[in-house]
């Protein structure tokens, strides 16, 4: 069979004779050598692939203009939600193009802000990022975590808020942990792993997390071990001190499953043991606050969309639990306690609704939001009468509001000035039928005046996993896509949390194919309703969304013009063997289980590439030191795809160096990557582009 002439010459990816046996089924793994990111041959392969990819991308004439327009629009002040500790306010701000946002502190809202921590000064290239922080209750000390080159590994330090000077404390080998101060400000609780092997720290599996207390001014080696379970290697511990300072609440997690256990320790009694309040992994419990011995939780036991319950620790039997706010049709995402009232954040058809209840569960009011979008914030202490929240939508940059808990009034606090007119765009929400008849929501945003003639370039995005809800949010990158005439569609697939735990479970393990069916049905709906055609349709997603793209492009290569899988999980038979991959078996199932292996093998992107197939134009993106989804997934998929692909469309891999899974990535790297993606789509989908260049970036303010 004669293949069409390949316009690109791909680097050679040699094959090894590696065969693994899964429950009697022999599976070839010819590119297993690419699992070692530090071997000489992998490094040579990475360099060769990047050479081909960047040569290809850099010669697309419009790329430079796209990057200029992205940079232009990105250059606006971005404000974080202010929060208060002691008599101080704290907030993040980015002047526009800073690689990392800067943390400021001020003593009153109209005082002059002072820089408390500027991560941009921690490295030349912006690759050291602030990965977590905890301010002591008196507002005088800050524990903060730093991550290098996007790694999940963190190092924690302590800073004096008044002087800005760091203390001697230095804690290492921390991952998947925050910090929580005791009320006396003498120290804080945190979780860590044992020190890993220096050379394989970015690939080795992470087991046996331990919860410690660190006392200020002492070396980490003297930290007090509060809790660990040598009999449970997969358990992780998140320790938080209750607002009254009396209890350490320990949430015990296992993998990525939202189900958790809840233990607690009375901090008033030095001899107190850890008490197991909830000791079965059967539901999700999120501690809100306590009234003495009564603990309030957002829980989904017998209420898959969530409710608020009260448990009296003096009489914790389940038949004594009290329901405060019952489950409703909307999904209860989170609850905080302010002004002695519950502030409940709901998701209604994938957009935010905020309701306020008194302590008996009676509705006080619904917060009026500026439109259909996503709101977040509403943090603070139990007796605070003020709080802040941010609101965003596909055409509204994150805008900060000050909220008066007593009067119920919202006032504009900070509004970003971005050089575009939101009135030029519209968003609509549609519902379509998936393969099995399930109704799935999808948001579609585009420039007004769009003609439904079936050939608009369209970017369809999805995630569909781990109980994550994809809600409306603003992105300069997507704005530039829509300026170029592109349509942006987001499908709220099963596997996410949009409709509670049942919706999540409907896209896990043996039901995972539902997620791909939902995404394929979204593509077919867009084509049937003349938004686009297969030749003009691109799909994208990252991490679990990268798996989504990989599975759909291998199942329906005819349906898409281009595919952009980012940091994806592509090898469903070996994902559990690296870093925190074992934790995903709660969503994916395990290859060790014969029945789940069958389901995984049936859709694993790496194992479902068919030689001689013409695949969509593909740009795989990953990073050389992603220690969440190790780059081997993308490396092996790229090698196998280049080998199997029979068409003339390019299939490339773009490997970012000195970067990880995405958190803390510097602005410069983000802009370069978006420019590469859109340039790739301009060429692959044959888009006639007019890049907006006239702009007034700072319209006052």
User: Contact 209/237 with Cβ under 8 angstroms?
Assistant: yes
Query: What whole-number distance in Å separates Cα of residue 467 and Cα of residue 495?
Result: 6
Q: Looking at the DSSP assignment, which residues form a beta bridge with residue 489?
A: 444, 460
Residue count of the chain, please give it.
701
Instruction: Give the C-alpha separation, 167 to 188, whole Å.
Output: 14
* 261 in Cβ contact with 252 (< 8 Å): yes
Contact indicator for 556, 580 with CB cutoff of 8 Å: no
Tokens 């043991």 belong to 273
Report DSSP state, residue 613.
B
Among candidate residues 207, 368, 359, the one with its CA nearest the CA of residue 292: 359
| C-alpha–C-alpha distance, residues 65 and 72, integer Å | 10
CB atoms within 10 A of CB 124: 8
Q: Which two tokens stand for residue 82?
A: 């202010």
Q: Which of 189, 178, 176 is nearest to 216 (CA)?
A: 189
Joined tokens for residue 368: 């009026």
Q: Which residue has the tokens 């327009």?
A: 69
DSSP assignment, residue 511?
Answer: G
Task: Give the integer Cα–Cα distance in Å for 265 and 226.
Answer: 9
449's CB contacts (< 8 A; 6+ apart) are none
State the Cα–Cα distance between residues 357 and 631, nearest whole angstrom. 46
Sign of CA dihedral 482, 460, 431, 370: negative
β-pair partners for 294: 291, 312
Dist. CA 466–CA 509, nearest whole Å:
11
Structure tokens at 117: 């921590």
- Show contacts of 499-503: CB within 8 Å, 24+ apart: 499/305, 499/331, 500/300, 500/304, 500/305, 500/306, 500/331, 501/258, 501/284, 501/300, 501/304, 501/305, 501/467, 502/304
Residues noted as catalytic = 543, 626, 661
For 61, 129, 427, 458, 517, the CA distances from 525, given in Å and listed in that order, are 33, 41, 16, 12, 12
First to last CA, the chain: 64
**Tokens at residue 571, please?**
């090898």
Q: Are 433 and 439 in contact (CB under 8 A)?
A: yes
Q: Measured on CA atoms in the order 503, 507, 511, 513, is the torsion positive or negative?
A: positive
Residue with structure tokens 């049905």?
521
């Amino acid at each position: 069979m004669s293949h069409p002439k390949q316009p690109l010459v791909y680097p050679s990816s040699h094959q090894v004779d590696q065969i693994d046996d899964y429950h009697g089924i022999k599976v070839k793994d010819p590119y297993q050598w690419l699992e070692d990111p530090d071997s000489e041959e992998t490094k040579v392969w990475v360099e060769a692939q990047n050479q081909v990819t960047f040569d290809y991308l850099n010669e697309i004439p419009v790329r430079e203009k796209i990057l200029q327009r992205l940079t232009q629009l990105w250059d606006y002040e971005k404000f974080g939600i202010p929060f208060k500790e002691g008599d101080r306010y704290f907030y993040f701000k980015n002047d526009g193009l800073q690689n990392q946002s800067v943390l400021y502190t001020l003593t009153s809202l109209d005082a002059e802000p002072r820089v408390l921590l500027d991560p941009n000064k921690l490295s030349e290239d912006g690759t050291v990022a602030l990965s977590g922080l905890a301010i002591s209750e008196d507002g005088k000390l800050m524990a903060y975590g730093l991550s290098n080159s996007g790694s999940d590994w963190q190092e924690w330090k302590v800073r004096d808020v008044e002087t800005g000077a760091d203390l001697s404390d230095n804690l290492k080998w921390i991952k998947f942990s925050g910090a929580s101060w005791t009320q006396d400000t003498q120290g804080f609780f945190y979780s860590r792993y044992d020190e890993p092997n220096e050379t394989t720290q970015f690939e080795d599996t992470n087991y046996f997390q331990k919860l410690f207390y660190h006392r200020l001014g002492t070396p980490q080696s003297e930290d007090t071990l509060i809790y660990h379970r040598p009999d449970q290697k997969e358990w992780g511990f998140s320790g938080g001190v209750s607002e009254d300072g009396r209890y350490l609440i320990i949430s015990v997690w296992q993998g990525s499953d939202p189900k958790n256990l809840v233990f607690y320790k009375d901090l008033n009694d030095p001899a107190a043991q850890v008490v197991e309040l909830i000791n079965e992994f059967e539901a999700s419990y999120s501690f809100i606050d306590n009234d003495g011995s009564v603990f309030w939780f957002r829980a989904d036991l017998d209420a898959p969309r969530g409710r608020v319950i009260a448990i009296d620790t003096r009489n914790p039997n389940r038949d004594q639990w009290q329901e405060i706010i019952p489950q409703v049709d909307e999904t209860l995402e989170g609850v905080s306690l302010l002004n002695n009232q519950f502030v409940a954040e709901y998701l209604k058809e994938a957009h935010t609704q905020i309701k306020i209840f008194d302590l008996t569960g009676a509705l006080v009011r619904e917060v009026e939001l500026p439109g259909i979008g996503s709101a977040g914030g509403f943090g603070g202490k139990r007796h605070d009468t003020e709080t802040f929240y941010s609101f965003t939508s596909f055409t509204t940059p994150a805008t900060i509001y000050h909220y008066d808990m007593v009067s119920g009034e919202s006032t504009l606090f900070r509004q970003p000035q971005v050089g575009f007119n939101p009135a030029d765009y519209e968003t609509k929400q549609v519902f379509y039928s998936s393969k099995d008849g399930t109704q799935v929501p999808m948001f579609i945003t585009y420039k007004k005046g769009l003609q439904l003639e079936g050939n608009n370039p369209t970017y369809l995005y999805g995630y569909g996993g781990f109980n994550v809800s994809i809600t409306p949010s603003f992105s300069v990158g997507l704005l530039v896509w829509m300026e170029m005439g592109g349509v942006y569609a987001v499908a709220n697939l099963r596997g996410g949390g949009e409709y509670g735990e049942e919706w999540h479970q409907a896209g896990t393990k043996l039901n995972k194919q539902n997620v791909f069916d939902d995404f394929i049905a979204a593509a077919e709906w867009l084509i049937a309703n003349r938004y686009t055609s297969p030749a003009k349709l691109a799909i994208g997603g990252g991490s679990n969304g990268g798996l989504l793209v990989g599975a759909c492009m291998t199942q329906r290569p005819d349906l898409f013009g281009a595919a952009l899988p980012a940091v994806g999980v592509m090898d469903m038979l070996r994902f559990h063997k690296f870093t925190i991959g074992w934790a995903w078996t709660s969503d994916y199932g395990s290859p060790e289980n014969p029945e789940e292996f069958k389901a995984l093998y049936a859709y694993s992107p790496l194992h479902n590439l068919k030689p001689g197939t013409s695949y969509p134009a593909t740009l795989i993106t990953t990073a050389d030191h992603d220690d969440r989804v190790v780059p081997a997934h993308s490396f092996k998929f790229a090698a196998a795809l280049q080998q199997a692909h029979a068409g003339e469309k390019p299939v490339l891999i773009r490997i970012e160096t000195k970067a990880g899974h995405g958190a803390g990535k510097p602005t410069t790297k983000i802009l370069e990557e978006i420019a590469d993606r859109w340039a790739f789509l301009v060429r692959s989908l044959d888009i006639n582009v007019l890049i907006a260049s006239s702009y007034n970036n700072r319209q006052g303010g």
